[in-house]
Amino acid sequence: MVENLEQIADKVIETDVLMIGGGIGGCCAAAKAKEKGLDVTLIEKAHIERSGSSAQGIDHYEGFFTRDGTTTLENVRNEDWRLGRYGARYPNLNVKYRLYKHQFWVFDELEKLGVPMRWDDGEPYWIPFPFVGWERRKTGLRVHWTNIKPILAKAVKKSGARVLNRTMAVDLLTNNGRVVGASAVDIRTGKFIVIKAKATLIATGKLMRLYNPETPLPWKFKFRYHFCPASSAGDGYALVYRAGGDLVNMDISGWTLRHRDDLTISYGSFSLNDGIPMKCYTWDGTELLNPNATRYRQLEEQGKTPIYFSFDHFSDDLNKRIEVAFADERLLSFKVAQDRGFNPRTHRYELQDMRPTGFYRVSGIYIDENFRVLRGSLPIEGLYAFGDGSVGGTGGVAGAASGGLLLGEDLPAFLNDTDDPVVDISQVESHKQTALAPLSVKEGTEPLELESALRYLCERYVGMFKSEGKLREGLRRLSSLKGWLPKLSAETPHYLIGSLECRNLLEIAEVHIRACIERKETRGNFFKVDFPDKDPDMDNKFFCQRIEDGKAILELGEHVPLKPEYLREAQEEDANRESRS
Amino acid sequence: MYVKIDYDSCISCGTCYKRCPQDVFSWDDEKDTPKVTYIEECWFCGCCWMDCPKRAIDITYPASFF
């Protein structure tokens, strides 16, 4: 009989705040919470100097929407309306309101952390026209953030927060409905770690790895995603789901036109990166204005594919600006282009079919405006989430940084009279067994093989154009794929990353497929061939999925409107604007 | 190999081994140098390539990219 944690774990840490994920959001939260006097432990699967979606750099920060004279409320409503057109709305508008409200506070806080918000002339560079026709806005920042991660890592180190790199969370520790920390494993040594925490924060990025990368490669290189694959495995989604938290809208995946050729910047983002509108052509030179999934299918039937993406219509100045954006977001692109004789000024990039990509913005971990993770509509004690993986607009660099900083600021008040966490030892034992089991499996399956099988399943049986028959076949095959989990082997502790990721991905794939089966309509970019019409009853609703008493539950959630205090605040802002003008 | 370390220039500072987001490198204790071990997990972000203080790492794209 094991009586204390030290007998099971190689290391036991007690802390106020456990931050899982050390990307931009995680680093901001850790530094802020530490500054506020809390004991902070940050665990990161990779190394915080190069981790998260912006590991290799980022060139834009879209966030200062009220700068053009519009109010916070107008921006929230505008975004809500825009998303509604594409499918699903934010479940809770208050999250977005709170983030928009604090945009400029976040700007100052980032500067305090040593993040370069200005260009060489000492001024911020405002992106001239985020979208065609929006010339006047200038609300996003172009930033030279190739080294954003080393800079933030330095800030975290300076803050004195405890950092465990190459440490991957296995599962959350729960006790009577409260989250009391997490178990983790060092993926270089295989050491098992238990972290007891009053508050556990999750910012592990958005899930993308249920589907192939934006530049899918045949044969063995399966990770050519636009965003860092380590932060795209949906670890946080699975942690929250297994701990009883809600995932919402898990049927609504994002979509993209896949690139056949390497691109630094994902399709459609050029306009965000330096206000540069790209052009899209069929192979015989007809310009395409809106190449969506249905359109691509028609073009293919008409023999009009491949289609291309080009900036050969740009002036030298625009080309220069593109190149600087490349340098900020993925320097390697220049070298690669040179190696293959590809000149971005004159060559065109091939765009492949439009496919589902990731789960973000409207789908993911369900949180409220205080970043508390919800179960039903009630917060789970001790559990918070923000960044790309949470719903409500906390994604992107701006969302992650704002979420982390705001939460770090608030945490001392939240933790005021929290009792010390008590850990259930038998739960820790089972986590250890789950995490380390692949180390003793000999001649088993490689995690990457199982993951590839899962992605093939999602591509084939869920995909862009869904149907009941395909989805049910997918679910059936998924259950047999799950049988392969115990066969995963880890020759070295490194493969524990892959095996734990597989476990997370398989878990969430089932959530995804079940939600797709449940949605009996076609909405935005959710295409269900056997239900081609939109169901107006679903306009303000979304799917919530969680585990309750060991059973998977799916229920309808109701859209949460803005709080009266925010509406009052918005009225004041509006009145102030009128008096100003 | 698509990620190649030039061991004549490498000073064993460990930056690549430390920072790779996908943990592609391992450390060769005998030679005290980094080693490309899990190449199939590389996502071609270029972090090792741009952070190497000696420019000792070269990255080329695999055939399956073309």
Give the ipTM of the model, two decimals please. 0.97
Q: How far apart are CA A55 and CA A46, in angstroms?
A: 10
Type of residue numbered A339: D
A500 close to A435: Cβ distance less than 8 angstroms: yes
Confidence of residue A477 (pLDDT cuts 50, 70, 90): very high
- Sign of the four-CA dihedral A425, A428, A430, A432: negative
Per-residue pLDDT for A551 more than 80? yes
* Average model confidence (pLDDT) across chain A: 91
Q: How far apart are the C-alpha atoms of A269 and A254, rounded to whole Å?
A: 14
Whether A221 and B40 lie within 8 Å, measured CB to CB: yes
Label residue A468 by pLDDT band (50, 70, 90): very high
CB proximity B44 to A under 8 Å? yes
Q: What is the pLDDT of residue A42?
A: 98
Provide residues of A within 8 Å CB-CB of chain B: 46-47, 49-51, 55-56, 146, 166, 187-188, 215, 217-225, 228-230, 262, 330-332, 335-336, 339-340, 448, 492, 494, 497-498
Region class of A290: left (phi > 0), else alpha (psi between -120 and 50), else beta: beta
Task: Report whether pLDDT(A130) > 70.
Answer: no
In chain B, what residues touch A222 (CB-CB under 8 Å)?
Answer: 40
Report the distance separating Cα A145 and Cα A504, nearest Å.
31
Give me the mean pLDDT over the A411-437 stretch.
94
Across the interface, whether the CB atoms of B47 and A55 are under 8 A apart is answered yes
pLDDT of residue A2 exceeding 90: no
Q: What are phi and psi of A518, to 5 degrees?
A: -70, -30
pLDDT band of A349, cuts 50, 70, 90: confident
CATH number for domain A255-356, candidates 3.90.700.10, 2.30.30.90, 3.30.360.10, 3.40.710.10:
3.90.700.10
**pLDDT grade for A581, boundaries at 50, 70 and 90:** low
Instruction: Determine the 3-state secondary structure of A414 from DSSP.
Output: helix
Q: Which helix (H) or strand (E) holds A515?
A: helix A495-518
Confidence at residue A185, expressed as pLDDT on a 0 to 100 scale: 98
The more confident residue out of A331 and A184 is: A184
Contacts for B19 with CB less than 8 Å, ≥ 6 apart: A46, A47, A49, A50, B47, B48, B51
Better-predicted residue by pLDDT, A489 or A272 = A489
Q: Is A56–B45 a contact, with Cβ atoms under 8 angstroms apart?
A: yes
Residue A137 or A74, more confident:
A74
pLDDT of residue A427: 97
Q: Does domain B3-65 have CATH number 3.30.70.20?
A: yes
Which band of pLDDT confidence, cut at 50, 70 and 90, is reported for residue A273? low
The answer for A2, left when phi > 0, alpha when psi is -120 to 50, beta otherwise, is beta
Give A436-538+549-556's CATH code, choosing from 3.30.70.120, 3.20.20.70, 1.20.58.100, 3.30.70.270. 1.20.58.100
Q: Cβ contacts of residue B7 below 8 Å, gap of 6+? A: B33, B56
DSSP-assigned states of every residue in A368-392 = -TT-EEEETTEEEEEEEE-STTBSS
pLDDT for res A132: 47
* Per-residue pLDDT at A457: 98
Side-chain-side CA neighbours of B42 within 13 Å: the count stands at 25
Identify which of A277, A269, A255 has the alpha carbon closest to the alpha carbon of residue A329: A269
For residues A558-572, average pLDDT: 92
Residue A283, min C-alpha distance to chain B (Å): 18
pTM above 0.90, yes or no: yes
A292/chain B closest Cα distance in angstroms = 24
What percent of chain A is modeled with pLDDT above 90? 68
